[in-house]
Amino acid sequence: MQFLSLYGIFSGMPTLPEPFLERLQKILPAAFLETALQSFQTARPVTFRVNRIKGSIQTVCKALPAQTFELRPVPWYDQAFILTRGTLRELQNTAAYREGLIYVQELSSMVPVLLLAPQAGEAVLDLTAAPGSKTGQIAGCMQNQGRIVANDVSRARFFKMKANLEALGVRNVDYSVAKGENLGRKRAGEFDRVLLDAPCGGEGRFHLSDPESFAGWKTAKIKSLVPRQKMLFYSAWQALKPGGTLVYSTCTFAPEENEGILEWALEKFSDLEILPAEVTFANRMDGLAAWGKKTFHPAVQKSLRILPDGLMEGFFAAKIKKVVSLES
């Protein structure tokens, strides 16, 4: 388990915090640990998805010259590609990029919207939406038909999100700048689907080449994030219609922010059902059965953990249904 610490000593690079590595060893399968540790020093390839509002797979492939770019399809998402030849700068200089036919996005970040599965004509809430990556993906799935409310508490991030979505040709979005914790009470039962990509510790984005990504990590920070995640979940649940679907996701490994939130929600809401996360790839595992002395409800294991492998970053997602009461 000293791999990354020793690597830092011999290379002169910073090392990840030892308490984080100790926790990671308890979270990840032993057989996958070395791959995960290697991922913290491996540069991930450029990945992008087709913006279905403006283009198709065929138009995008034609727009990217084969002599410059080589693309590898993503088996579990037919709208996504891995750039195996060419650079990000070269991709950004293409008409396909400038005109919004494609959107550069990390693969793990695409998974929550696949689980949400928004449909044309529905009302969808993206509760913590900025910078709009997942909102744009939602709009593509809906083909600009229906209504999306994209909310974020930060006005600065809001303007960046608005610019991103306008560049993608998104027209079915209402923008909101408000505390997500309060929005559900004001818009109770309004949405068919809600995405809560919760503010989190960001452990899945740690990388040795970017010491700032893990400089402030402490176990105390994990504990400080949980109350807000619960308040946002409560708000998301209020906003969701009976029979509707909520996806809860984070880009962190911490069970307190992932399975722990689901365990709390199962105890809090009698009309909550966790559904299987139906996305299949090799570097996935089910949610944890336990953490420390806490054993989770068996339903929590239906959630999805994405294991970092140098291609995808660490991520967590759960698909949840608001069960229609027999009394309603």
Q: Give the residue numbers marked as catalytic.
A: 251
**Letter for the amino acid at 287?**
G
Q: 140 Cβ partners below 8 Å, 6+ apart?
A: 49, 50, 51, 52, 53, 79, 168
Helix (H/G/I), strand (E/B), else coil: 38: helix
Q: Which residue has the tokens 């009309």?
A: 271
Q: Which residue has the tokens 């969808």?
A: 124
In 3D space, the residue among 305, 299, 306, 304 whose CA is nearest the CA of residue 321 turns out to be 299
In 3D space, the residue among 237, 242, 109 whose CA is nearest the CA of residue 184 turns out to be 237
3-state helix, strand, coil in the chain (%, to 5): 40, 25, 35
Q: ∠ CA 245-251-253 to the nearest 5 degrees? A: 110
The answer to whether the beta carbons of residues 16 and 214 sit under 8 Å apart is yes
**Letter for the amino acid at 143?**
Q
